[in-house]
Structure formats: structure tokens, C-alpha cells
Amino acid sequence: MDISQIRTLIHVAELGSLSRAADRLHIAQPALSRQVRLLEDELGVRLFDRHGRGMNLTEQGHDVLRHALRIMAELDEIRAVVGDQNASLRGHVSIGMPPTASDILSEPLVAAFRDTHPEATLRIVSAYSGHLLDWLNRGELDAAILYDPKSARALRIQPLLEETLFLIGPRDSELSMEKPVDFAKLKQMRMLMPSRGHGLRSIVERCAEECGILLDIKVEADNYATLKALVTSGHGVTVLPLAPIHKELREGRLCAAPLVNPVPMRRLIMSYRTDRPAPRLARFAGQIIVTTVASLVAQGMWSGRLLEDKPSVA
């Protein structure tokens, strides 16, 4: 087993194809195929299922990949220790984000990697906080943005933002940022919300319980793009942060109003595991995310209160 085989495993797993991995690595496809075959022979297991559309990791392949990613991260750390701290890094990093945060932060994060660490590979995983927390604990993610991780197991966290949620309606709903809406009035509205168990739904239902009402939720949709489309088409109203709908608000396709009594809010944090040091690429990603969030809050594009940036343990 050698580093080239491990590197090949990572790229083929990410791209799902020997030909695409060969194009990325500038290595002939037969040579990559041989590296995968030699690794499988040495380990005595099949790492990939081959099919007409490419290659998918087997269950054992996923287990091997987790270790391979850690090995490459450690090699990058070795280079960093003896090299220029400002030098461009190589290696692979996986960052998890909830869908609303991914919509806002993916582009500036990719741009920062392209400009500062062009030889590194970045994987952005968009999923709900419960899934991200599980993958982070299992080592499949190097870092993750999480919302209110009350069940987190000893994570090293960096608070980012206390995010305010707003009532969102179609353009003719007469909602206005100058006219707060009492939360109890949501009882009379046709609500469109994510399904039960989703973090945002839990926050809204806690607020409804606090003011003694039951919400009339007619449609459940876990995809934020679907929620936005349904509200834009006039099928009801929803509760969302402003940042992922900033464009729709600016163009007048959606309207928003603050909610009061109570004000729905959630904490956004950057999370790392405590059982091993965060790779430099993961720390770089975290720095870019912190800077971007602060900039968007300062510009009024992300409504909320910046939290103390001192790392702690959840």
C-alpha cells in the first residue's frame, strides 16, 4: 500500500469514475485502475462496485475511505509543520453545512480555496444538522456548521451567529419589515413548513407552544427551494432566515416581517471533533466561514447577532 493508491481511492470515490479521476490527476486511466486493483488485492476486499455509469464504494470501501482521508490530512499536516505556514496546501477536506447556510456560504468558500489552496480538493456536504452531527462524529466530515447541537458529544465549537427567523410570504401578502407580526397570528395562516424533526420546525413549534397556539400546517417540504417556490406561488407562508432569500426579497418576489412574542431564533456554530486536531484545511475553511458570516451581518444580508468567537466544548 502506498500514498498514490490512497490518493487514487479518494479521487475515484469522490468522482465516481476512473476516467474523471484520471483527468483530474493527469494520470492514464489504466494506471489508476491498476492502483485500485493492487489496493483491493492487498486488503483482500472489493472497494468498489463497477457498473456502466462508473464506480461506487462498497460498504468496506466507505470504511477504508474514512481512514484514507485521515492519512492524507496527516500528511498535509506534516508538510505544514516543516514548511512555509503561508504556503498553498494540498489534500482533501469535507465541510458539512445545513441547506440554508450552504446556499449562502458555498460560493465564497469555494472561491477562497481556489485563490489560496488551488491544489486542495473541497467537498461540501449539505444536509440537516442531525445527519451532519452523525457524520462528524463518525469522521466522515472534518468540520461542520450546526444549528443548536444540544445532543453533541464533546465537540469543539466556535459560536458564529444567533440567527433571527422571519415570517415569509408572497409579494401580495403585505408583510413588511416595518410591521412586526405577533407570533400568535400564525394560527390564522396557511403554513408551509419542513417536516417534524427538522430543526427549524422544532423551533417554530416551541414558539407556538409558548404562546399557546396550534399551527395550521397544510404542506410539509424539507427542501428550502421547494418552500420558497411554494410561497412565491401563493400557496401559503413560512418561517425562514433572511439570508437565503435575500435575492427574492430584493427582487420583490417575496415579502418578510419580523415575528415577536416570541422571536424565533437559533444558534449557528462551527464544529470540530475533539478526539483529533482539526486539519489545517478545515481550520482554513472555518476562518473563511467566520469572516463571511461577519461580513454578511455587517451588510445587513444576514439578520442576527454575532456570537463570541472563543472556541469551546459543547
Q: How confident is the model at residue 254 (pLDDT cuts 50, 70, 90)?
A: very high
- Report d(CA 145, CA 97) in Å as an integer: 5
C-alpha cell belonging to residue 117 = 489552496
Instruction: Report pLDDT digits (tens) over 213-253.
Output: 999 898 999 888 899 999 999 999 999 988 888 889 989 99
Q: Residue 283: which CATH number?
A: 3.40.190.10
Assess whether pLDDT exceeds 90 at residue 300: no
Omega before 108 cis (within 30°)? Answer: no
Residues 102-119 have a mean pLDDT of 92
**Same-domain pairing of 99 and 153:** yes
**Same-domain pairing of 247 and 275:** no
Q: Please identify, among 69, 87, 105, the residue that sits at the C-terminal boundary of a domain.
A: 87
3-state secondary structure of 306: strand
**Same-domain pairing of 19 and 71:** yes
User: What residues contact residue 234 under an 8 Å CB cut-off, 6+ apart?
Assistant: 170, 172
Among 144, 156, 88, 87, which residue's Cα sits nearest to residue 121? 88
Q: What is the number of domains present in the chain?
A: 3
pTM of the model: 0.69
Round to the nearest angstrom and report the end-to-end CA distance of the chain. 38
Q: What stretches of the chain show up as alpha helix (H) in DSSP?
A: 3-15, 18-25, 29-43, 59-82, 99-116, 129-137, 199-210, 224-232, 246-250, 280-298
Q: What stretches of 154-310 show up as alpha helix (H) in DSSP?
A: 199-210, 224-232, 246-250, 280-298
Indicate the angle between helix axes 29-43 and 3-15, nearest 10 degrees: 110
What is the amino acid identity at position 20?
Answer: R
C-alpha cell belonging to residue 104 = 449562502
Instruction: Report pLDDT digits (tens) over 161-182.
Output: 999 999 999 999 989 999 999 9
Can you give the residue range of the structural domain that contains 259?
Answer: 166-263
